[in-house]
Amino acid sequence: MARKKIIAGNWKMNMTPTEAVALVEELKPLVVNNNVDVVFCVPAIDIIPAMKAAEGTNINIGAENMYFEEKGAFTGEISSNMLVDAGVKYVIIGHSERREYFAETDETVNKKVLKAFEHGLTPIICCGESLTQREQGITIDWIRQQIKIAFLNVTADQAKTAVIAYEPIWAIGTGKVATTEQAQEVCAAIRVCIAEIYDAATAEAIRIQYGGSVSASSAPELFAQPDIDGGLVGGASLKPDFGKIVNYEG
Ligand code: PEP
């Protein structure tokens, strides 16, 4: 069965609750496409107002992060239960900005992935290499390690429903998009890695996005690749351009 594309926006630390509602209202008519799962991953404080603004549309409101503990004395954190209660289905885990600025590791990513699955959330699990790693020719080894740790103790049934976002760090927010060949090569390698960890059926089912300066002009070629099942989009998700990315087939 063909995998349904999933195109997610990552708003990062942008948009007050008032601005979030206005942006959802603006993008609502532009992101209609029933062939694609459309997700807006928004700051925690925007989740509930954005959810209300998106009611009755094809937009799923997702989260940008969550904590791996169930509840308790973890000031400032958001639990998976809180996300579920707010109506969230998708949560980004292990974005490179969280790894760089908030000391997230492959191990904490794995804990978060397990907790997300425990509560029925779908994790969008980020991986990606630095420019140095790419130049050293260790991209695939590095990504395979990230994937193997992220999926420790995740069952095949859970893995089938997961989303992986391959995001070369050097392409995030820089305007430098990986070439179609570079993006496809790594996404294909991720699928091989999933087949090795699990089996061919799991590898066939899992959805793998590309992320890194995706724009309305780069999306059609990227999303046409056999192992690229959509995108995780930062900057362009805050603009009407996101509608063009979601409707990349024209
Ligand atoms: C991201 O935040 O995941 C991202 C890919 O950002 P941008 O599209 O701005 O590079």
| pLDDT tier, 141 (very low <50, low <70, confident <90, very high otherwise) | very high
pLDDT of residue 175: 87
Ligand 1 atom nearest to 233, measured from its CA = 8
- The total of structural domains in the chain comes to 1
CA–CA dist 204, 248 (Å, integer): 23
Nearest alpha carbon to residue 126 among 196, 215, 33, 62: 62
The CATH number of whichever domain residue 35 belongs to comes to 3.20.20.70
Domain that holds residue 76: 5-246
**19 is an active site residue:** no
What's the average model confidence in pLDDT over 229-234? Answer: 98
pLDDT digits (tens, 9 = 90+) for 9-19: 999 999 999 99
Among residues 64, 95, 97, 104, the one annotated as catalytic is 95
- Tens-digit pLDDT profile for residues 45-79: 999 999 999 999 999 999 999 999 999 999 999 99
Global model pTM greater than 0.85:
yes
Distance in angstroms (rounded) separating the CA atoms of residues 136 and 92:
28
Q: Max Cα separation, the chain?
A: 49
Top mutation candidate among 174, 176, 213, 242 for ligand 1, by most atoms within 8 Å of CB? 213
d(CA 222, ligand 1 centre) in Å: 15
> Is 88 near ligand 1, meaning CB less than 6 Å away?
no
pLDDT per position as a tens digit, 89-104: 999 999 999 999 999 9
Catalytic site residue 167?
Answer: yes
62 lines ligand 1 (CB under 6 A): no
- Measured from the CB, is residue 214 less than 6 Å from ligand 1? yes
Residues 6+ apart with CB under 8 A from 85: none
pLDDT of residue 68: 98
Token pair of 201 as six digits: 């059926």
Considering only CA atoms, which residue is closest to atom 2 of ligand 1? 234
